[in-house]
Amino acid sequence: MSQNSDKLYRENSYRGNVAESEPELKAKLKDWQILPPMNPLACKECATVHAPEAPHNMESLNYKYNFAKANGRWPTWADACSHCSEEIKQLVKGLLSDKGIDYA
C-alpha cells in the first residue's frame, strides 16, 4: 500500500466508514465465525473483561466482526456504548473528543 492509501485506509476503517453496502458486508460475513473468548470472565460480545455498565471494546476484532455480521456495517463508539447510561456515554464522548476521535 502506498503511504496515502494506507493513511486513507486507517482513517476510514478506524471510523467504521467503508465503501461496502449493508447487503455486501452481510454476504461476505455470512459464514464467518470468530471463536468465543477463552477467558470465562470476558464479555461475550467484545472478548474483553469489563464491567457490565462499561462500553464494549470497539477496537476488539471480536466486537467489530460480530457487530458487522449482525448489522451489516462496522461499529462506532456510539454502538459500543449503546447499553451504557447517559453519564457514561457523555464521559466516553468527552474522552474521545479530547483525542480527536469521532464518537458516532
The pLDDT tens digits for 64-86 are 999 998 898 999 999 999 999 99
Please check whether residue 83 lies inside any domain of the structure.
Answer: yes
Please check whether residue 76 lies inside any domain of the structure.
Answer: yes
Judge whether 37 and 43 are in contact, CB under 8 Å.
yes
CA 69 to chain centre: 12
Please check whether residue 103 lies inside any domain of the structure.
Answer: no
Range of 35's domain?
A: 3-98
CB atoms within 10 A of CB 68: 21
Please check whether residue 80 lies inside any domain of the structure.
Answer: yes
Arithmetic mean of pLDDT over the chain:
83
Query: Structure pTM?
Result: 0.70
Q: H-helix or E-strand containing 14?
A: helix 3-15
Please check whether residue 104 lies inside any domain of the structure.
Answer: no
pLDDT at position 1 is: 43
How confident is residue 5, by pLDDT bands cut at 50, 70 and 90? very low
Please check whether residue 56 lies inside any domain of the structure.
Answer: yes
Statement: residue 58 has pLDDT above 70: yes
| CB neighbour list of residue 14: distance below 8 Å, 6 or more residues apart | 101
pLDDT at position 85 is: 97
Domain count, the chain: 1
pLDDT at position 19 is: 56
3-state secondary structure of 28: helix
